[in-house]
Amino acid sequence: MPPSSARSAATPALRLWPALGLVALLWLLHFVPSIVEELSPTVLMIGFFGPAVCALLIVIWWLAGSRAPRREKVSGVLGLALIGIVATFLAHPTVRGLGIVGSAVPLGATAFVAGLVGARWLWPSRRLAVALGAVALVFGYWTLVRLDGVWGDFAGERTWRWRPTAEERYLAAREEPAGSGIVVAPVADAEWPGFRGPARDAVVPGVALAEDWSDRAPREAWRIRVGPGWSSFAVAGRSLFTQEQRGDLEVVVAYDAETGAELWAREYPSRFYEALGGDGPRATPTVADGGLFALGAEGFLHRLEPASGEIVWRADLRVDADRKPPMWGFSSSPLVVDDLVVVHAGGEGDRGLLAYGAEDGRLRWGAPAGSHSYGSAQLAQVAGDVYLSLITDAGMTLHDPGDGAVVWRYDWPIDNYRALQPLVVGDA
């Protein structure tokens, strides 16, 4: 009897078609975000977590429907677990967690099935060794790379882990400013005081842009390197205020609008990282009442002097809201109303929305306002009165600016994130 016939008689052939079907489904789900015309959180979640679920189903197939001998099944699961644990331990911190689950696990499951298909005529111990070897190669690759960021369709930007990051290259080449010679004038009325402009509606009043740039294209005035972060800019005269990350320091910094020269930088120890958003602060500084207000990703709220960057006062949202930073960090851009600075913290009870005295930084009031949101509080005029409006995971609320009391609430709970700003439409 030929060797292959002897093996077939001793060991039933693997039932591979369910695994091949799961691999096909895995890759179909992987490409869903790129083939669907309109992206939504549901589509993105399907494209990211769907392949991982298929990988789990492949393991279940191996145990329950593959026809492999019991010893081979147990050895296979233990081998997969060992490879996953070792790879996770050796992987770069940016790859652990979502990087392993979203990419390495589906690719490893595909390699496992491909190895079984390619070695299906070998003895069980040998075909399993081939399959696990293929998985080890896939996971081995993931121990050598680093995740430098994730695009909106959840596609990761990877590079070899030993290469310097953009931030490391920036810090290595950065020279301490010798002094711009520019005197930062005291801030009165800021043209663009903070997040999304004067009314937080992303409207630039009194400016019209040419629709045809073929004859008069915009000309780049200057370009500089900055540290990572998600902050945009507040603009007052020649001063551009923003936040960025420099190593283990969060930085509130002012640049000259005409030259890009650094006017001043206020650093303090803090570094927040999250796999999808990366490093750095999330919120945008606010210029108001002669001060500059900035909230860092770990929850440090500062008032600084716009002309010098000197710290006037500091508060810690982790203490005042009695909570850890949310998954993506504190991202609420401060809103200054009368003599109050309002930020969303997402603490329990009446610690969702917090208001501090603009002059002294003392906590004035707290109000319930959901546990997490990418959004920031903004003013809305309804029925002739002005309220604070905010959209969170719990829904939408209107608050009295004076004491934070909830005057109107629309319950609209959601487990996922919200990244919307409310807008009053028509006569209200």
Q: Is 173 contained in some domain?
A: no
Banded model confidence at residue 230, pLDDT cuts 50, 70, 90 = very high
Residues 272 and 395 in one domain: yes
Residues 239 and 137 in one domain: no
Reported as type and span, the H/E element at residue 115 is helix 105-118
On the question of pLDDT at 97 being above 50, the answer is: yes
Residues 236 and 383 in one domain: yes
Residues 38 and 138 in one domain: yes
Q: Is 72 contained in some domain?
A: yes
On the question of pLDDT at 389 being above 70, the answer is: yes
* DSSP secondary structure of 148-198: EEE-TTS-EEEEETTSPPHHHHHHHH--------PPPPPP-S-SB-STTTT
Question: What is the pTM for the complete model shown?
Answer: 0.82
Residues 144 and 232 in one domain: no
Banded model confidence at residue 1, pLDDT cuts 50, 70, 90 = very low
Please give the average per-residue pLDDT across 325-351, as a whole number.
93
Q: Which residue type sits at 258?
A: E
Whole-number Å distance between alpha carbons of 66 and 4: 19
On the question of pLDDT at 7 being above 60, the answer is: no
Per-residue model confidence (pLDDT) at position 253:
96
Residues 151 and 276 in one domain: no
Q: Is 95 contained in some domain?
A: yes
Q: Is 178 contained in some domain?
A: no
Tell me, what CATH number does 314's domain have?
2.130.10.10
On the question of pLDDT at 153 being above 80, the answer is: no
Q: Is 174 contained in some domain?
A: no
Residues 145 and 243 in one domain: no
SS3 50: helix
**Whose structure tokens read 């001043």?**
264
How is residue 38 annotated by DSSP?
Answer: S
On the question of pLDDT at 69 being above 80, the answer is: yes
CA contacts within 13 A on the Cβ side of 154: 24
Question: Phi/psi of residue 157, each to 5°?
Answer: -105, 110
Please give the average per-residue pLDDT across 66-88, as a whole number.
94
Banded model confidence at residue 178, pLDDT cuts 50, 70, 90 = low
Q: Is 171 contained in some domain?
A: no
Residues 118 and 234 in one domain: no
CB atoms within 10 A of CB 362: 10
| Distance (Å) of CA 206 to CA 31, 191, 381 | 44, 11, 22
Per-residue model confidence (pLDDT) at position 181:
56
On the question of pLDDT at 35 being above 80, the answer is: no
Banded model confidence at residue 216, pLDDT cuts 50, 70, 90 = confident
Cα torsion through 192, 195, 201, 203, rounded to 10:
30
Residues 55 and 192 in one domain: no
Q: What is the mean pLDDT of the chain?
A: 88
By residue range, what is the domain housing residue 397?
A: 186-197+226-411
**Whose structure tokens read 């969303």?**
344
Please give the average per-residue pLDDT across 314-321, as a whole number.
96
Cα angle for residues 344, 347, 349 (degrees, 5° grid):
115
Q: Is 420 contained in some domain?
A: no
Per-residue model confidence (pLDDT) at position 6:
47
On the question of pLDDT at 4 being above 60, the answer is: no
Banded model confidence at residue 152, pLDDT cuts 50, 70, 90 = low
Number of domains in the chain: 2
Buried b (16+ CB within 10 A) or exposed e, 46-80: bbbbbbbbbbebbbebbeeebebeeebbebbeebb
SS3 281: coil
Per-residue model confidence (pLDDT) at position 182:
58
On the question of pLDDT at 226 being above 80, the answer is: yes
Residues 190 and 155 in one domain: no
Please give the average per-residue pLDDT across 324-335, as a whole number.
93
Residues 88 and 193 in one domain: no
Give the residue from 157, 119, 115 showing the smallest Cα distance to 23.
Answer: 115
Please give the average per-residue pLDDT across 280-296, as a whole number.
95
Share of the chain above pLDDT 70, in %: 92
Cα 134 → chain centroid: 32
Residues 116 and 230 in one domain: no
Per-residue model confidence (pLDDT) at position 134:
96
Q: Is 176 contained in some domain?
A: no
Whole-number Å distance between alpha carbons of 304 and 237: 17
